[in-house]
Amino acid sequence: MNSTSYVACPECDLLINYAQPKVGEKIHCPRCDVLLLKPSKQTIERTFALSFAGFILFFPANFLPLVSISLFGNANSDIIMSGVLALFTKTMWPVAIVVFLTSIVFPFAQISLSLLISGHLYFNQPNRYLICWMRWIHHLNEWVMLEVYMLSIIVACVKLMAISPLKFGWGLYAFVALIFITTLLISNRDNHLFWQRIEQLCKDNNHAN
C-alpha cells in the first residue's frame, strides 16, 4: 500500500484514499465533513501577488492615522502602535504586549513568511529554511486578529461619536484593504500543494549536489 495516495483527516483521523481532485473540486472528509483539499488555479502565483500587495499595504495601515478625534480644541489621532504605547505606560504592559503581538507582529510575520515561501516556490529557489517557515505560518493563522481589531475600531467610534466628531484617516482605508488581503491569503493558500512543492524542491536540490 502506497501511503502517498492516502490522507488522514486532521480532525477525525479517518484514512481516506482519494483521486487527485481537479481544479475547482473540493474534497471533504466523508465522516466529519471537514474540508481536506481545494485545489485552485495558479495558487502559488496568487499567493505571491497577494502577499506582495499585503506587504506594501502593511506600512500605510500602520503609520497613517486610523481615526482622529478633537475635543476642547485639541486633536488626538490613533495608529495601532500608539494604542500599544498608551497602554504600555500605564502599568498595563501585559495587555500592551498582547495587543502588539496580535495586531502588529503576527500579521507582519504572516505576510512576510507568506511572501518568502511563495516567492521561493514561484522562482523555484530551494532554501533550507522553507520547511521552518511553513511550520511557523501554520501556527500563526489563529493569532492574526486584524478583523477583530477592525470591529473594535467600529465599536470605539460608535462610543466616541456621542462625545465629539471623528475624522477617519487614510490609514483606515489601507487597514481595511489589508484585512481583505489577509483573508484572501488564508482562504487561497493550499498547504497540501505547498508541502508537495517544497518536498520536490528539496529532493531536486539534493540530487543536484
Query: Are the CB atoms for 81 and 62 separated by under 8 Å?
Result: yes
Q: Confirm or reject binding of residue 103 to other proteins (CB under 8 A).
A: yes
Among 21, 25, 33, 205, binds other proteins (CB under 8 A): 33
- Applying CB under 8 A, among 42, 125, 152, 205 the residue interacting with other proteins is 152
In the shown chain, the binding pattern of residues 153 to 172 toward other proteins, with x for contact by CB under 8 A and - for none, equals x-xx-xxx-xx---------
Q: Name, in order, each residue with C-beta under 8 angstroms of 174's C-beta and a sequence gap of 6 or more.
A: 57, 60, 61, 64
Does 84 engage in binding with other proteins (CB under 8 A)?
Answer: yes
For position 10 contacting other proteins by CB under 8 A, the verdict is yes
Q: Does 200 bind other proteins (CB under 8 A)?
A: no
Residue with cell 511557523: 136
Cβ proximity to other proteins, 14 vs 184, nearer residue: 14
Identify which range of 56-64, 98-106, 116-124, 168-176 contacts other proteins by CB under 8 A: 98-106
Sole binder of other proteins in the list 53, 67, 111, 121 (CB under 8 A): 67
Q: Is 82 in the site for other proteins (CB under 8 A)?
A: yes
C-alpha cell at 50: 497577494
Q: What letter would DSSP give residue 168?
A: E
CA distance 146 to 49: 20
| 107 CB-contact burial (10 Å; exposed 0-12 / middle 13-18 / buried 19+) | buried
What is the smallest separation between the CB atom of 129 and other proteins, expressed in angstroms? 12
Phi, psi of 153, rounded to the nearest 5 degrees: -60, -45
Burial environment of residue 130 by CB neighbours within 10 A (0 to 12, 13 to 18, 19 or more): buried
- Cβ atoms of 189 and 47 within 8 Å: the answer is yes
Residues binding other proteins (CB under 8 A): 3-4, 6-8, 10-17, 30-34, 67-69, 71-72, 74, 76-78, 82-87, 90, 92, 94-96, 98-99, 102-103, 131, 134-135, 138, 142-143, 145, 148-149, 151-153, 155-156, 158-160, 162-163, 191-192, 195, 199
